[in-house]
Structure formats: C-alpha cells, structure tokens
C-alpha cells in the first residue's frame, strides 16, 4: 500500500484539532482514594523504561493524603467492564501465549527483543522531547539510538545504558499536550491497551504515525511485529501484573489511580 504524505498530514491535523477541543472542554471529576495505592507491588508492576503497558511509578509517598487528584470518570461503568475484558484477555489468551513463548525463548533473548523494540521507539521519544524543548534529552536519545543501532546490533543490545549510563528519556505526545497545558479530559480504558484518558488517547495518534512499523508496506508483517512485541512484553511482566491484581481491593480503581498519578508525575518532570 502506498501512502500519500499530504493526505496523512491533513488527517493528523483534523484528528488532533477535533479531539484537542474535546479534551480542553471536558469537566466533571472524582477524587482518588489514596488508600487504593499499594506502593511496593505497584512500583514493581509499573517498572519499564519506555511506553509499554508497564511504566515506572515508585514514589507514591510523595503524594500526601491532602494531595487528592481529581479524576473525571463519567464512563466508569464502561471502564470497569473494559478493565474486566482486558484482564480476561490477558489471563486467558496472552498469558498462555507468553508462557509458551517463554518456554521456547530464553529470557536473555526476550530481553534483547525488548531492547530492540525500545530502540524502535526512538522517533517518538526524540520528537516529543524536542516539542517540549528538552534539548539535552533529545540529544541523549540521538546518542542512544546511534550507539545501540551500531554497536548494539540494531538495538538488540543496549551498550548506551550499560557502558555510558545513557538512559532512555521517555516522552510521548500525550505528555507533550500536558506540557502545554491541555487537560486530561475523562478517564478512558482502551481495549487491549488498558488505562488512558482523552488527552493521552489523542496523543496516541501522532505517536502512531511516528512508529517506524507503521510504514511497513505489508500489513501481515506489521501485525507480526506488533504481536511479537505484545507477547514478548507480557512474558517479561505477567508475574508483576498478577501480583498487583492479587493485592488489589478494586483492580479498576487501583489501575485508574496509578495511571493518572503516574501521568501527572511524567508531565511535571
């Protein structure tokens, strides 16, 4: 399939313009019950250097009981339902696939694949660091990409981290919108992708176009690469998710609160 760059550009502009107005206009809120946050387990589940389902969030104690984040959650009924659907899909479908994959593929190889996908995420991180005027972090991303693509054999190894202590600088378009003052909008649980909100859902659109896999002509290859990424990530983190789920009084509330607080921290940083 051939892509017309002008049509793609127009489509991006229209989508972003419409949803930005929706995001800014959204209103009603609900408070986070802070006792729903389980620090140790949650920090383990959310430990990942990039923008996978699991992200780093291990400093809950910075939020006092008085620092209650207001969450707009008018779709709580749908969101609870979709959380259950996503949980069943993960446990009944992706977990067996991940376990079989783990039996065949040794952990060092799976970590190498994780590094490879992290390296593929360079355009998203680089562009959004630039958009947020984080020039030093953008430079770090260039250095990491150059070193890991060459000395790291196309990103399957991470010598930038292990040798030079250059760590990824994860930024996405949802964070860029937040950096410029766009509100979260209402909370939204996406099929398969999990917790999000209106602003971050909008942000996935330009990030999607920055993903190199999007420009692979054959849809079968695109699906295979994205499927491998999901199964590989699940194989490395399924135990953390199950530990989180075991300790949760209310899985939906825990995931919702953790996501919104983490995103607030990401934007503040």
- Mean of the pLDDT values across residues 126-133? 98
Locate tokens 């503040």: which residue? 268
Q: Rounded to 5 degrees, what are φ and ψ at 165?
A: 55, 35
pLDDT at 21 exceeding the cut of 90: no
- Measured CA to CA in angstroms, residue 99 lies from 67, 73, 242, 244 at distances of 40, 35, 14, 18
pLDDT value at residue 91: 95
Domain-by-domain residue ranges, the chain? 5-27+38-65+92-268
pLDDT at 2 exceeding the cut of 50: no
Q: What is the pTM assigned to this prediction?
A: 0.76
- 177 contacts: CB under 8 Å, gap ≥ 6: 20, 23, 199, 202, 203
* DSSP codes of every residue in 226-264: HHHHHHHHHHHHHHHHHHHHHH-SSHHHHHHHHHHHHHH
- When pLDDT is cut at 50, 70 and 90, the band that residue 32 belongs to is very low
- Measured CA to CA in angstroms, residue 249 lies from 37, 198, 203, 224, 246 at distances of 10, 26, 30, 36, 8
Contact 254, 244 (CB under 8 A): yes
Q: Which 3 state secondary structure label does DSSP give 31? A: strand
Beta bridge partners of 189: 195
- When pLDDT is cut at 50, 70 and 90, the band that residue 136 belongs to is very high
- When pLDDT is cut at 50, 70 and 90, the band that residue 70 belongs to is confident
Locate tokens 């006792």: which residue? 35
- Mean of the pLDDT values across residues 90-106? 96
- When pLDDT is cut at 50, 70 and 90, the band that residue 23 belongs to is very low
- Measured CA to CA in angstroms, residue 55 lies from 16, 242, 255 at distances of 25, 16, 12
Locate tokens 């940083």: which residue? 269
Kindly state the DSSP code that residue 36 receives in the 8-state scheme. Answer: G
pLDDT value at residue 15: 47
pLDDT value at residue 269: 82
| CA 191 to mean position of chain CA atoms | 14
Query: 178-197 pLDDT, tens per residue?
Result: 999 999 999 999 999 999 99
pLDDT at 116 exceeding the cut of 90: yes
Least confident of 41-55, 109-123, 136-150: 41-55
Query: 141-172 pLDDT, tens per residue?
Result: 999 999 999 999 999 999 999 999 999 999 99
- 53 contacts: CB under 8 Å, gap ≥ 6: 193, 194, 233, 237
Give the 3-state secondary structure percentages of the chain, helix then strand then coil, rounded to 5: 65, 5, 30
From the list 205, 188, 174, 185, the residue with the least C-alpha distance to 267 is 174
- When pLDDT is cut at 50, 70 and 90, the band that residue 247 belongs to is confident
- Angle made by CA atoms 140, 142, 145, in degrees to the nearest 5: 105
pLDDT at 213 exceeding the cut of 60: yes
């Amino acid at each position: 399939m051939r892509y017309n760059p002008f049509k793609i550009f127009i489509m991006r502009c229209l989508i972003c313009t419409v949803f930005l107005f929706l995001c800014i206009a959204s209103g009603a809120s609900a408070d986070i019950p802070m006792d729903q946050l389980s620090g140790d387990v949650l920090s383990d589940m959310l430990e990942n250097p990039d923008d996978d389902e699991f992200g780093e969030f291990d400093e809950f104690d910075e939020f006092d009981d008085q620092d209650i984040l207001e969450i707009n959650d008018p779709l709580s009924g749908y969101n609870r339902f979709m959380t259950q659907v996503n949980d069943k899909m993960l446990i009944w479908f992706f977990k067996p696939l991940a376990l079989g994959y783990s039996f065949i593929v040794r952990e060092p190889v799976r970590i190498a694949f994780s590094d490879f996908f992290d390296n593929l995420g360079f355009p998203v991180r680089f562009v959004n660091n630039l958009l947020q005027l984080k020039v030093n972090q953008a430079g770090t991303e260039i250095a990491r990409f150059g070193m890991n693509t060459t000395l790291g054999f196309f990103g399957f190894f991470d010598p930038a981290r292990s040798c030079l202590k250059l760590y990824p600088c994860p930024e996405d378009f949802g964070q860029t919108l937040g950096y410029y003052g766009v509100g979260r909008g209402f909370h939204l649980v996406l099929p398969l992708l999990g917790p999000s909100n209106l602003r971050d859902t909008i942000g996935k659109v330009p990030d999607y176009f920055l993903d190199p896999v999007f420009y692979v002509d054959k849809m079968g290859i695109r699906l295979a690469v994205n499927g491998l990424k999901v199964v590989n990530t699940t194989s490395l983190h399924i135990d953390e998710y199950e530990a989180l789920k075991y300790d949760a009084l209310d899985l939906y509330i825990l995931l919702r609160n953790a996501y919104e607080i983490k995103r607030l921290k990401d934007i503040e940083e």
